[in-house]
Chains A and B, each alone.
Chain A
Amino acid sequence: MSNRNETKMVVDKKNYIDPDWLLEIRQEAKALFKDIGFPNSRHETWKYLNLDQDLDLERHIKKTPIRRTERDECVSVLFKNNTPECESILANKNDLIITNFRSAYAEHKELIKSSLSKGLLQNPFSYLNTAQFDDGALILVKEGCKVEGPIIIDLQTHVEEERLKGIHTRTLIVLEKGASATVFVQHHSFLDKPEFVNDYFDIVLKEEATLEFILTQEGDQPYRFETIKASIDTKANLNYVSFVNDCLVTRHDMGVDFIGEKAVVNLAGIALLSSESQYFNHLYIDHKVGNCDCSQVFKTILRDKSLSEFSGLVVVAKHAHGTNSTQSNPNLLLSDNARALSRPQLRIDADDVECAHGATMGQLNPEEVFYLESRGLNKSAARALLTFGFAEDIIQRIKQPLIQHECDLILREGLSSYDKHR
């Protein structure tokens, strides 16, 4: 792919007007957003996130280090604030389409329209996104196409002349029958003013499609909301790994809808939280049909005054027999000032299912610490190593070697300070 031909989609920004159907959808979304209202602590799923909290936002601005490993083999989508810049690869043009919505409204109207007309329940920000996004990015992998290298989505926030009223990015990923791809999402911030970022990813996996989706987030905007909605058809396969490295306020809402049988979804995540970081992780797994497997492992490491909330709801519809769901939420609490909340939930309306969930709250196992000490490590090194092992387990679930390596480096760096911590 060294001879790739980069074509920047240029859209006349000033004279652009949304098509009528889109304007309609935006109006509806706006109305729905108003209906639900801006969340406050009276909403069960927003109980612990005080959006009006008097945080010294600017103090928390951290610029993300620029990370670029060798990515010659990669295709990427770059969002500058609200606007995607897509690279299109001619060599692959027929099998892999990466474009912005505005260039695709004509040709892929139905695809985009159906994606835009749904929103995640209980999450008003997904509606806000629909109402407010500027332009979106479409990644379409055609039937049977196996995309080799990872597709990178780089979400960058830059200083604009005018203060932005929130950044709403929109990405639609569609894998047709038998297609496969890896998508890697990262964030870069070049801001010195706090910003509210509200990203929305819509993932559609058709029959037998295979997607690996890795979402990383590092200290940047004070408020970063991510909505990920995945619809999984027959025998499709999703491997999802999220990695949150100390953002001030992060909210993840992930919805998985099983619409075809024999699909397999593995969800995993690790969050490193320190200082006053807050991480709110909400899952909604909807087994509408039977015979699907879904495993969910989300781990958190809490230090200082950090807070984490995990809420994982698994719904098994009537007649969705043969459903197999396992969920676990291990939390490592390393500070008396940290707080961890966990709500693993099951709602089961079918009798022939296997569902289990578990949550643990605790510290490093003293036996394990002692074992390492007895092998010559000092206490803090032993603790750091065990903490690393706790997190590394998640990183190892990333199958794409390049991305796994990159995440591994971030993890090592993120945990390096733990050595001195206690």
Chain B
Amino acid sequence: MSLEEIEKIAGQNYKYGFKSDIETEVIPKGLNEDVVRLISERKKEPKFMLEYRLKAYNHWKTLTEPDWTHLEYPTIDFNDISYYAEPKKKEKLESMDDVDPELKRTFEKLGIPIVEQKRLANVAVDAIFDSVSVATTYKDKLLEHGVVFCPLSEALEKYPEIVKKYLGSVVPHTDNFYAALNAAVFSEGSFVYIPKDTVCPMELSTYFRINAEETGQFERTLIVCEENSKVSYLEGCTAPMFDKNQLHAAVVELVALDNAEIKYSTVQNWYAGDPKTGKGGIYNFVTKRGKCAGKSSKISWTQIETGSAITWKYPSCLLIGDDSVGEFYSVALTNHHQQADTGTKMYHIGKNTKSTIISKGISAGKSINTYRGLVQINKSAKGAENFTQCDSMLIGSDCSANTFPYIDVRNAQSTLGHEAATVKVTEDQIHYFQQRGINMEDALTTIVNGFCADVFKELPTEFAVEATQLLSLKLENTVG
């Protein structure tokens, strides 16, 4: 067998492509001021929230969709999307046992235990189904430590002051087209608050699931880490298979105060569209940003991007506090007709700030995989350091890999190093595996996993295995 045969890419069926038969209430398609009011009303939000949403909506109206990415997709009709969907059978959930059994089954199929008996040891989960959070585990145990982990809507009810203080403080509604849209119509998301001098006793995790057809999901996550506190958070995402594209435009804001540390990991496995035609799939247009506001604070992004028809995402760090640290570890695997344009932005503002970027892009099939990143070292950031390494691996001859870094340095006391290279899987490597009795497919996934090892080791252990398996799954039938 030769590597040319690798090009025969078939791709395994999307494991999470089922649709759950759950009665959902979807508001009519289209976006206008009334829809914004309706969402706010449904969620029984305080007045400041409605005002914020309206401000964002009015700003959004003045914007046009960005076209600077290296992405190709038909124009999105923003009036052909429904902006809110919720499972019908839902009043106030008193305990996990009240969760709709069909919903429970859905999350179990996804491998996410939301019923506490089956919970993952030491991982608290917030499960979000379409626009609504359906279950959050371990809430009480966390509260004993003063840690708040709940749906954002609940946080607006219980901790409006904190939300008001930080929401939009990292990603303002004026930031970009999708951030403005999200600010206007976001429906749900997770809220995490770690008080001073607290190390969150367990991993926090949110699972997002888009189920309803023709809805957009606009969740918003806010994590605030007070002085000397620490948290590790993971999000996972899936969606059923539909012919139509679904829009996912999330916003994630992280705030780290003095000596605080936030580790944010993502395993993204949205439906990527039909492997053969590229029809359907999620448009994943996400704004993620963390603010290292305090001295010696640290924000670390780790992402495993394997799904979505189109990914457009740059988890970034504002390194404001002196000695603060930003990290970005990314694996982006595209196959079939997927397109990914992802990377990070590191803004060095405080003194002696440090950032590390490790990006591994793997393109197979007819996909396009782009790394786009900015490292900006301001005049004030004396003693700043950055190291960037972004490698691309191409499997087959119909895919593309692009690397577009932007580097901007404005003082003479900083150092920066950027390296990028293409890596290929050689016939000799595959043959070596085979000579030792290992089949071609295992050989390829092992080599790819090896290529990504530097990133996987940054994931919380519970999820590193998952990520490895996910990658193998995505590469199945890439050879043969």
Contact = CB atoms under 8 A, between A and B. Distances in A.
Interface of A: 44, 318-319, 331, 333-363
Contacts of A343: 404-407
20 contacts: A318-B397, A319-B397, A333-B409, A333-B414, A340-B409, A343-B407, A344-B403, A345-B404, A346-B392, A346-B422, A348-B402, A352-B424, A353-B422, A354-B421, A357-B421, A360-B416, A361-B377, A361-B414, A362-B414, A363-B413
Contact of B392 (A318, A340, A348): A348
Nearest to A351: B394
Interface string B227-268: 000000000000000000000000000000000000000000
Given A340-B409, A344-B405, A346-B401, A362 B421 contact: no
B402 A351 contact: no
B343 interface: no
Given A339-B408, A341-B408, A349-B400, A358 B417 contact: yes
Contacts of B382: 336
B410 to A, nearest CB: 5
A331 B408 CA distance: 11
Nearest to A359: B418
A338 B412 contact: yes
Contacts of A342: 405, 407, 418
A7 B350 CA distance: 65
Given A356-B419, A361-B377, 10 more contacts: A319-B397, A340-B409, A341-B409, A342-B405, A345-B402, A347-B402, A354-B421, A354-B424, A357-B403, A362-B414
A354 B422 contact: yes
A347 B405 CA distance: 12
Nearest to B420: A357
Interface residues on B, range: 35 or more
Interface in B375-415: 377, 379, 382, 392, 394-415
Given A349-B400, A363-B413, A358 B407 contact: no
Contacts of A362: 414-417
Contacts of A357: 403, 418-421
A354 B423 CA distance: 7
B419 A358 contact: yes
B412 A360 contact: no
Contact of A351 (B68, B415, B417, B424): B424
Interface string B416-453: 11111110100000000000000000000000000000
B422 A355 contact: yes
Contact of A363 (B398, B415, B418, B420): B415
A331 B402 CA distance: 23
B412 A356 contact: no
A360 B394 contact: no
Given A346-B401, A346-B402, A348-B394, A361 B421 contact: no
B314 to A, nearest CB: 16
Contacts of B395: 351
Contact of B407 (A318, A336, A348, A359): A359
A356 B417 CA distance: 13
9 nearest A-B pairs in the assembled complex, by CB-CB distance: A351-B394, A356-B421, A361-B416, A342-B407, A362-B415, A346-B403, A333-B412, A361-B409, A359-B418
A347 B420 CA distance: 12
A333 B406 contact: no
Most buried by B among A334, A351, A356, A360: A351
Contacts of B411: 333, 336
B418 to A, nearest CB: 4
B413 A336 contact: yes
Nearest to A307: B410
- Interface of A, secondary structure class, is strand
Interface string B354-385: 00000000000000000000000101001000
Contacts of B379: 336-337
Nearest to A309: B408
Contacts of B394: 348, 350-351, 353
Contacts of A355: 421-422
B9 to A, nearest CB: 12
B447 to A, nearest CB: 14
A38 to B, nearest CB: 21
Given A355-B422, A358-B419, A360-B417, A339 B410 contact: yes
B400 A348 contact: yes
Contacts of B399: 349, 351
Contacts of A348: 392, 394, 400-402, 422
Contacts of A44: 68
A31 to B, nearest CB: 25
A336 B419 CA distance: 24
B413 to A, nearest CB: 7
Nearest to B410: A339
Nearest to A311: B406
Contacts of A318: 397-398
Contacts of B414: 333, 361-362
A360 B418 contact: yes
A355 B414 CA distance: 27
Contacts of B413: 336, 363
Nearest to B398: A318
B397 A350 contact: yes
Nearest to B369: A348
Interface in B258-291: none
B369 to A, nearest CB: 10
Contacts of B377: 361
A353 B416 contact: no
Contacts of B400: 347-349
Nearest to B7: A351
A346 B371 CA distance: 10
Interface string B64-97: 0000100000000000000000000000000000
A325 B120 CA distance: 48
A340 B407 CA distance: 8
Most buried by B among A44, A336, A361, A363: A361
Contacts of B422: 346, 348, 353-356
A337 B412 CA distance: 8
A361 B415 contact: yes
A335 B412 contact: yes
B347 to A, nearest CB: 15
A263 B266 CA distance: 44
A347 B411 CA distance: 30
B418 A336 contact: no
Contacts of A359: 405, 407, 416-418
Contacts of B404: 343, 345
A377 to B, nearest CB: 21
Nearest to B401: A348
A337 B421 CA distance: 32
